[in-house]
A and B are shown apart, each in its own frame.
Chain A
Amino acid sequence: KQEVTQIPAALSVPEGENLVLNCSFTDSAIYNLQWFRQDPGKGLTSLLLIQSSQREQTSGRLNASLDKSSGRSTLYIAASQPGDSATYLCAVPPGNTGKLIFGQGTTLQVKP
């Protein structure tokens, strides 16, 4: 059964720092991996989707990498800002139905 783990559960950094969020999964036979952002009391916003054939995806200050063989993905945030404060979740589909298995998330606080 696929399991997704995110470490650390919480992270606090000063503004301007580059940081890496980690996501690991137990079954490497995945179609894709998706990173989301969630602000308190809100829905999830899709940040990046990496297909299984890709190694990385970039969007602005965000870069996500995927290493299927080791069951790992990282989300790199460059030059962090207070507005980046949120919970970041990664998720993988256990098969081709489209449903997702989510990690517990990493709550990021960027201090001014």
Chain B
Amino acid sequence: DVKVTQSSRYLVKRTGEKVFLECVQDMDHENMFWYRQDPGLGLRLIYFSYDVKMKEKGDIPEGYSVSREKKERFSLILESASTNQTSMYLCASSWTTVDRLGEQYFGPGTRLTVT
């Protein structure tokens, strides 16, 4: 079974703190993604990566950065946490071939509260 794990299920941070969210997948997937999910706004893509050291902005990258130093690990960084970044953060991974896209698998999510 594909497994995507996230470092924390719940996290409480103060405004201005630097926050690291870690995601690890064990299926050698090329693609990894960070989404946030908010009531009424649905799932929105923050950043994604299709290879080690590669990253692409999603729909809402402002206030976030990412790092992918190893294929299995994709980190989301909140440079200076703000209350409007309180949300559920979901990591996902998938495979790609020349002409096909594989299933996207999600981690359990991190509920981040910024006070």
Chain A residues packing against B (C-beta within 8 Å): 31-32, 34, 36, 41-46, 49, 51, 89, 91, 93, 96-100, 102-105
Contacts and interface: CB of A to CB of B under 8 A. Distances in A.
Among B101, B107, B111, find the residue whose CB has the most chain A CB atoms closer than 10 A: B101
Given A44-B90, A104-B42, 11 more contacts: A31-B101, A34-B103, A43-B106, A97-B31, A98-B31, A98-B96, A99-B33, A99-B48, A100-B43, A100-B45, A103-B42
A97 B103 contact: no
Instruction: Indicate the size class of the contact surface on chain B.
Output: 20 to 34
Contacts of A104: 42
A31 to B, nearest CB: 5
Interface centre among B31, B42, B43 (most CB of A within 10 A): B43
Given A98-B31, A98-B50, A102-B43, A46 B103 contact: yes
Majority secondary structure of chain A interface residues (helix, strand, loop or mixed): loop
Chain B binding site: helix, strand, loop or mixed by DSSP? strand
Given A98-B31, A99-B48, A34 B104 contact: yes
A97 B102 CA distance: 11
Given A41-B111, A97-B56, A99-B58, A46 B105 contact: yes
B12 to A, nearest CB: 16
Contacts of A45: 106
Contacts of B94: 98
B109 A43 contact: yes
A102 B59 CA distance: 12
8 contacts: A41-B88, A42-B108, A43-B106, A46-B104, A97-B31, A98-B102, A99-B58, A100-B104
B52 to A, nearest CB: 15
Contact of A43 (B30, B45, B103, B107): B107
A100 B106 CA distance: 12
A43 B104 contact: no
